[in-house]
Amino acid sequence: MVDLQQHHTFALTAQANSLIQITSVEELQARLPFKQPFVILGQGSNTVFVDDFAGDVLHIALKGIQRHSTDSHHLLNVAAGENWHELVCWTLQNGITGFENLALIPGTVGAAPIQNIGAYGKEIASYIDSVEYLDIQSGALFNLAGEECEFGYRDSVFKHRLHAKVVITAVNFKIPIQWQAVADYGELRQLQQPTAQDIFEQVVAIRQQKLPDPAQVGNAGSFFKNPVISQQQYQQLQQQWPSMPHFAVNPQQVKVPAAWLIEQAGFKGKMLGGVQSHPTQPLVLTNIGQATGEQLLAFARSIRQQVHEQFSIMLDNEVRLIGRHGMVSL
Ligand code: FAD
Ligand code: EPU
């Protein structure tokens, strides 16, 4: 048995049968067929083990960065086990600009396409040329073009048709050499003609101020996704809640900040056992000490229920919850 507390950032106490480090694609292929149940894990920053897991955890630790350039683009092939934030720093140190808005997002490069990581006005989908993966059933290697990854807000084909069927081994990025600042999200607007380094530093500063550091207090970032509702529902709600913040997604749909809904529902700063809704960002649930999976599930369910009763909006968890036999839903 192996203790998983150090292997997921929410840091609940949980055990698994074993934790297997994967450092090469050949090693991965040699392990096929995987014994059921199994879980693929990067740095566990979007995964919470809410119970002991009765199977093997495959920790993807593939390493390596290859770089090429054309007249118009930088091309990077990055192994799945590389750390995302270290890659962002490496690109800037090497004169490659574009990833700066996505600084300080925890986790691996291999997990980045799965929920199409995004922050401060950018999503990684815009830079993904293709995703290399191993098909778990056949052992064959594929290279899926970015356009076929069905990227959406915190979404991709890897959460649907290819869920639990593939291991991402590397990501190919295509980054235009011609750079343009994206600085119209929140506090970034204060920057005057920023460089990529300015944006990087500002994003790091905002994140350090707002979000709890998993090294200090266990958490998995935003626990829920920001709900997308119809214009019609938004207009009805707005009559009752005129201050409800919103962002247009398209002419028919509107995104509402889950943090606002959770705060209005009275959960900001609230605790249940060892679980707390973070006092400066209520969308982040934290493990303030000795939290249990049961407490986390109970707290998240009561938030979801209260928000639903008050706003008729059903929150959907962003975090992957792993129970005894695999993924569980709230
Ligand atoms: P894990 O949690 O290890 O895995 C996530 C999922 O991907 C699991 O289902 C796992 O099975 C699967 N998986 C992982 N690697 C592979 C692979 N190689 N092949 C196949 N499947 C795989 N996310 C954002 O988008 N934006 C943010 O701003 C943001 N901020 C965060 C802030 C904090 C403090 C924290 C703790 C998290 C934040 N997150 C954010 C969420 C998290 O950082 C991302 O989801 C990240 O991509 C997860 O990487 P990971 O390696 O830790 O994934
Ligand atoms: N808000 C409140 N009360 C609060 C905090 C925020 O009402 O205490 C409202 C405000 O209206 C604010 C809005 O929520 O304008 C948005 O807050 P914030 O800018 O902090 O972003 P978010 O929507 O809560 C999303 C992502 C984050 C990402 C940030 C920055 C999701 C689920 N979360 O959070 O991603 O870092 O934007 O782009 O989309 C993650 O996915 O784990 C994550 C941290």
Choose which residue among 46, 85, 206 to substitute to test ligand 1 binding: the one with the highest number of ligand atoms within 8 A of its C-beta: 46
Looking from the CA of residue 283, the nearest atom of ligand 2 is 24
Q: Distance from the CA of 21 to the center of ligand 2, in angstroms?
A: 33
- Give the pLDDT confidence of 61-78 residue by residue, as tens digits: 999 999 999 999 999 999
Which residue, by CA, sits nearest to atom 33 of ligand 1?
221
- Cα dihedral 145, 95, 177, 104 sign: positive
Any ligand 2 atom below 6 A from CB of 214: no
- Give the pLDDT confidence of 8-56 residue by residue, as tens digits: 999 999 999 999 999 999 999 999 999 999 999 999 999 999 999 999 9
**Range 223-227 average pLDDT:** 98
Q: Distance from the CA of 257 to the center of ligand 2, in angstroms?
A: 6
- Give the pLDDT confidence of 74-126 residue by residue, as tens digits: 999 999 999 999 999 999 999 999 999 999 999 999 999 999 999 999 999 99
The DSSP letter of residue 217 is S
Quote the pLDDT of residue 148: 98
Q: How far is the CA of 117 from the CAs of 12, 64, 110, 267, in angstroms?
A: 23, 20, 11, 26
Q: Would you say the pTM of this structure is higher than 0.95?
A: yes
- For residue 154, indicate whether it is catalytic: yes
Choose which residue among 114, 155, 157, 285 to substitute to test ligand 1 binding: the one with the highest number of ligand atoms within 8 A of its C-beta: 114
CB neighbour burial string for 120-142, b if at least 16 within 10 angstroms, e if fewer: bbbbbbbbbbbbbbbebeeeeee
- For residue 318, indicate whether it is catalytic: yes
Annotated catalytic residue, options 100, 123, 154, 320: 154
Quote the pLDDT of residue 299: 98
Number of alpha carbons in the 13 Å side-chain half-sphere of residue 68: 6
pLDDT band at 276 (very low <50, low <70, confident <90, very high): very high
Q: Could you say which ligand is closest to the alpha carbon of residue 211?
A: 1
Q: Distance from the CA of 233 to the center of ligand 1, in angstroms?
A: 31
Crossing angle (nearest 10°) for helices 196-210 and 84-93: 150
Quote the pLDDT of residue 101: 98
The values of phi and psi at residue 286, to 5°, are -125, 160
Choose which residue among 123, 211, 222, 318 to substitute to test ligand 2 binding: the one with the highest number of ligand atoms within 8 A of its C-beta: 222
Any ligand 2 atom below 6 A from CB of 260: yes
In the chain, the percentage of residues whose pLDDT exceeds 90 is: 100
